[in-house]
Amino acid sequence: MDKNKLVFSGVQPTGNLHLGNYLGALKNFVTLQKQTKCIYCVVDLHAITVFQDPNELKNNILETTAGFLATGLDSKKSIIFNQSSVSGHAELAWIFNCIARVGWLNRMTQFKDKAGKDKEKASVGLYIYPNLMAADILLYKATHVPVGADQKQHLELCRDIAQKFNTDFKKNIFPIPEPLIQKNISRVMSLRDGTKKMSKSDESGYSRIDLKDSADDIIKKIKKAKSDSSFIPDNLKDLEKKPEALNLISIYSDLLEISLEQVINEVKGKDYSYLKNKLSEVLIEIICPIGKEIKNLLEDKNYLEKVLKEGTEKARILAVDNLKEVRNVVGFI
């Protein structure tokens, strides 16, 4: 256990957790939990940057918590809580709104992607979301943040904010957090469009494998997944021209923890139905037990609320101490 390292990461409670969340985040969270102290947060303040139905949001917070536990996170080892229950996140985010520069935020590509064409109608929260993410991390003085490719730019901004704060106030208050980039783990793409990432908010349920999907759902979705009419090529270069086919092969390799080359060697020259059958089998073996556990945990909402409450208490102790220091440095009484 590395005592100098503190990991922070969050997941938005915006819908059902899916295979992308599992391979891109949760699976790694469990590995990190064995190596160091970790804080895993259900980031409900981030979720409301886009309107959420209040009842659905409540359910999604519990469902995301169940997803954390079902994939193997242990609330005795890691701090598991929901962001809005520790008010320091919002308080520090305001201070960071006054540290970050408009030009920095204007460069954030995720805002441009999520706001779409009509950015005048996007919430201000969506625009300043990266400042809140910086506050999430720095409120605990976290030193390491597991990030996917899509979050790398936001972590850079967090580092800029930490640096500017330390320089402006001439005190080394915040560590400059390091990204933890997973080796060999690709972005999981939509099953319907290999150029778009698999996402909770995609309208088509056929675009993703949800962790709660039954074996039948998985078989159906993989059968319907876009692939290619020709045979599976024998090299990565040719495969890269077919994003949907490459996505299926990448998922298979991530699940089995073997290289893309090894998978290509196994399936080259075969048609995609062969790969799809194999992939469905592996998905059923790995994902269905997690889905069953999520459903079991959701039967006892009081237990999930208790886990969040206990995590909140632990998080609050760290947050209050750090915020006191920050308030003092800024000049608040």
Q: Which stretch binds ligand AQP (CB under 6 A): 20-28, 90-98, 123-131, 154-162?
A: 20-28
Binds ligand AQP by CB under 6 A, chosen from 25, 209, 232, 297: 25
Question: Is 114 considered catalytic here?
Answer: yes
Instruction: State the amino acid at position 82 in one-letter form.
Output: N
Which C-beta is closer to ligand AQP: that of 251 or that of 263? 251
CA dihedral 258, 26, 92, 13 (to 10 degrees): 130
Active-site residue (options: 141, 200, 220, 295)? 200
Catalytic one among 5, 58, 114, 164? Answer: 114
Q: Which of 6, 8, 14, 245 binds ligand AQP (CB under 6 A)?
A: 14
Which one of 49, 82, 143, 151 is in contact with ligand AQP (CB under 6 A)? 151
Binds ligand AQP (CB under 6 A): choice among 6, 8, 24, 44: 24
Residue 297 is a binding residue for ligand AQP (CB under 6 A): no
Q: Total residues at the site for ligand AQP (CB under 6 A)?
A: 17
Is the Cβ–Cβ distance between 70 and 290 less than 8 Å? yes
Q: In whole angstroms, how close is the CB of 226 to ligand AQP at the nearest point?
A: 16
180-193 as b/e: b if 16+ CB within 10 A: bebeebbebbbbbb
Which residue is closest to ligand AQP by CB? Answer: 24
Task: Give the pair of three-digit tokens for residue 313.
Answer: 């208490």
Q: ∠ CA(166), CA(169), CA(175), 5° rounding? A: 20
DSSP state of 189: B
Tokens of 75: 């609330």
Q: Write down the least CB distance from residue 202 to ligand AQP, Å.
A: 7
Tell me how far the alpha carbon of residue 29 is from its chain's centroid.
10
| Sole binder of ligand AQP in the list 4, 55, 195, 201 (CB under 6 A) | 201
C-alpha 266/C-alpha 257 separation (Å) is: 14
Which residue bears the tokens 């976290």?
A: 142
- Of 187, 192, 220, 301, the one binding ligand AQP by CB under 6 A: 187
Q: Which stretch binds ligand AQP (CB under 6 A): 17-25, 71-79, 277-285, 310-318?
A: 17-25
Neighbours of 10 (CB within 10 A): 24
* 322 counts as binding ligand AQP under rule CB under 6 A: no
Inter-residue contact 140 to 322 (CB < 8 Å) = yes
Residues in Cβ contact with 106 at an 8 Å cutoff, skipping those fewer than 6 apart: none
- For ligand AQP, which residue of 41, 42, 188, 245 counts as binding (CB under 6 A)? 188
Work out whether 276 is an interface residue with ligand AQP (CB under 6 A).
Answer: no
- Determine whether 183 is an active site residue: no
11 makes contact with ligand AQP (CB under 6 A): yes
Contact 100, 161 (CB under 8 A): yes
Residues with Cβ < 8 Å from 89, sequence gap 6 or more? 45, 83, 132, 135, 136, 139, 319
Q: Does 21 bind ligand AQP (CB under 6 A)?
A: yes
Report, as residue numbers or ranges, the catalytic residues.
Answer: 114, 197, 200
Q: List contacts with ligand AQP (CB under 6 A).
A: 11-12, 14, 20-21, 24-25, 148, 150-151, 187-188, 197-201
